[in-house]
Amino acid sequence: MLHDRIKQLISTGVAATCVTAGGILLPNIIEEAEDNTLRYTNNVVEGVPDWINTIGMSLGALRGLVVDYLWIKIHQMQRDGLYFEVMADAELITKLQPRFPQVWVFHAHNMAYNISVATHTIEERWEWVNEGIRLLREKGLRANPDDMVLHKELAFFFMHKLNGNSDDAHLYYKRKIAERWHYLLGEPPVSWADRTEWIKEIADAPRTIQEAITKTPKVKQLLETLEQDFEEFVGDGSKLTPEILLNQISQLLTITKHSMVAREIGMQQKLRSESPYFNQLEKLYFSPEYSQSWKTLLSTLRKEVLKEEYNMDPQLMYEYTRDAGPLDWRHPQAHAFYWARRGGEVGKGRLKADEIYRVMNTDRIQLQSLQGLARTGRIAFDPFSKEVPGRFPDPRFIDSVIGDENREGLWKELYKKHYFVRGAGSDTFTTFLRNFLGSAVREWYRQGELERAQAILNQLDDLFGTGATPPNTAYKVPLDVWVRDQTKGQYERLPAIAISDVTSALRYAFRVGIGQNNPDIFKEALKFAKQVTAEFKTNEYNDYTTKFGTGRIKDIIGVLESSAQITFEQLMIDTTVPIEERMAIWAGVDRLERGLRPRVYDRIVSELQTQYSRHPLHNVRSFAEAFPEPPGLEAWRLKMAKEARKASSVAEDKNASKSVDRK
């Protein structure tokens, strides 16, 4: 008995000593874990699925053995090309190791890059690519909200898989992402200030429907009416979800205001005669009684969908639009910039000193995304046209990168951030700057902004020419000679530069050749555009098609062929061009290029009227006097309706032939 009592006392003493020692050591252990980023996350994760906290615990010590076995198994299946068989095991690993970023990257890459190319149709391929993106964005980042690796990989998917042209189906991807975000957020405003305010409305919106009703009481009545109408007219048992309503409203506005194709084929009239639900929705939306209610409701729903369905923060979307440029979320590079920027902000505190290369790789994507937006950031998209979105240069992003008198610029921010990094460090950003400034010189030169082009060329000379060590005279040449020499061979290596050069030249032609009555400049620009288009259509390096029957460079050729019309359309609603100058261009364009005004009139008239109403001239001259309707407009509308029906029929025939038989 005494012997047992002694054992108990000794055991109690040992236990107490261990607990005390553990309590003493715990702060140091926690501090060590923080210093070495051994904790799963620095943030409290809200709404994380229960399996993140329960499945691993239920297996206990066996979890490591199971995971090791599954990794060995899927690597073997990967080598054997059994991509579909990998899916189930990889998904199980994500449940067993939800806090291990590489498993999410592996799983998503397998879906977007391996399984997608093994499918039979272009639609199937898009589904797998989209699922890979969703896996990272809506699952991996919910489990690891401040992991830089996941942010960088997700940004790379948008930049490479969707925005690049290495995938046979990239044109289809560009259309699908533009369509999705067009219907989710609607047609974005033209000016940077308006676009920033447009996103800010979503960021500042109520967090819930109940808060929206508190802010605008009529939201409740509007929502009840919408749900009742949906149930009555649709009648298939489905519910009116936020995404469905946002899609319907964006389609309504596209049909009634923005889509030339919808207007030309009489879609609005057809729906009015055939769809009671469309009539009721149109009546409700344009009712003055509900104008403020609609504004509150739509911004609330968009905020909810962005956060819940896309794991995106509207406040960050607003801040990035305000600071980095007029981001158009229908463009993949806008998403690449968002995720790279966010990853750099939230993940910097969780990396060890020797992992700085991860930060640099993420920051490079930020710069590359803005470079891509400078070249193709203006989107012209009609979801009813069945065509690929038009993508045109947006010089506003040039200043976002290199800065101006009012801001530092992203390049300088990142250059200073990595200046003292060992190895390449800041040199990688210096190389980027040299290439980017060279593109900016050509961009401004083609637009006729000779002073700006010369200033940037002088900057290049100061940094990399006579001001370099050792000095050289590479940039001490006349501006036109430097641009001509730099353009040689560029189109083959960087095809998107062709669009930038052509549209910049045409923009200058409209502003100077027509606006200032210098027809020779306009004719020269058209000649240049035709030469570049012919080069792309005849050079053998572009002469290939994919298994889906779509050339990888087809989007560039299509843009070049319609460059004059779309450049003219964008110029006429560009708020950076004085309204008086646009009036002169509108009045004089028929002298040199007939047919442009009637082709764009219906597309621009609503936005142009809004802009004109804010200008003092509207008090002395009506809009019809400032921008008169083109003569013979009705005949042109009939012609364009015929063209639209023919193009739609051709597109349907092409879509029907995109399936691939595999034997």
Whole-number average pLDDT of the chain = 81
pLDDT digits (tens, 9 = 90+) for 289-333: 999 999 999 999 999 999 999 999 999 999 999 999 999 999 999
Q: What percent of the chain has pLDDT over 90?
A: 31
Residue 537 CB neighbour total at 10 angstroms: 13
Given a cut of 80, whether residue 370 has pLDDT beyond it is yes
Residue 389 CB neighbour total at 10 angstroms: 23
Q: What percent of the chain has pLDDT over 70?
A: 82
Are 392 and 192 a contacting pair, CB within 8 Å?
Answer: no
Question: Per-residue pLDDT averaged across 6-29, rounded?
Answer: 69
Given a cut of 60, whether residue 485 has pLDDT beyond it is yes
Phi, psi (deg, nearest 5) at residue 457: -65, -40
Given a cut of 50, whether residue 44 has pLDDT beyond it is no
pLDDT digits (tens, 9 = 90+) for 491-546: 666 666 777 777 878 888 888 788 878 888 788 777 777 777 777 666 655 544 44
pLDDT digits (tens, 9 = 90+) for 395-450: 889 888 988 777 788 888 888 887 777 655 567 788 888 888 888 888 788 777 78
**pLDDT at residue 353, as a whole number:** 59
Are 559 and 572 a contacting pair, CB within 8 Å?
Answer: no
Q: pTM to 2 decimals?
A: 0.76
Which residue's structure tokens are 């504004």?
295
Given a cut of 80, whether residue 268 has pLDDT beyond it is yes
User: What whole-number distance in Å separates Cα of residue 176 and Cα of residue 198?
Assistant: 23
Nearest to 628 by CA among 590, 592, 593: 590
**pLDDT at residue 549, as a whole number:** 45
**pLDDT at residue 2, as a whole number:** 63
**pLDDT at residue 283, as a whole number:** 93
Which residue's structure tokens are 């391996």?
114
**pLDDT at residue 200, as a whole number:** 97
Could you give the dihedral angle defined by the CA atoms of residues 519, 523, 525 and 529, in that order, rounded to the nearest 10 degrees? 160
User: What whole-number distance in Å separates Cα of residue 385 and Cα of residue 382?
Assistant: 6
User: What whole-number distance in Å separates Cα of residue 443 and Cα of residue 455?
Assistant: 13
List residues bridging with 404 in a β-sheet: 407
For 570-616, the DSSP string reads HHHT-TTS-HHHHHHHHHHGGGTSTTHHHHHHHHHHHHHHHHHHTSG
Handedness of CA 559, 565, 568, 572 (dihedral sign): negative
Between 574 and 284, name the one with better pLDDT. 284
User: What whole-number distance in Å separates Cα of residue 310 and Cα of residue 307?
Assistant: 6
**Where does residue 449 fall: left (phi above 0), alpha (psi -120 to 50 degrees), or beta otherwise?**
beta
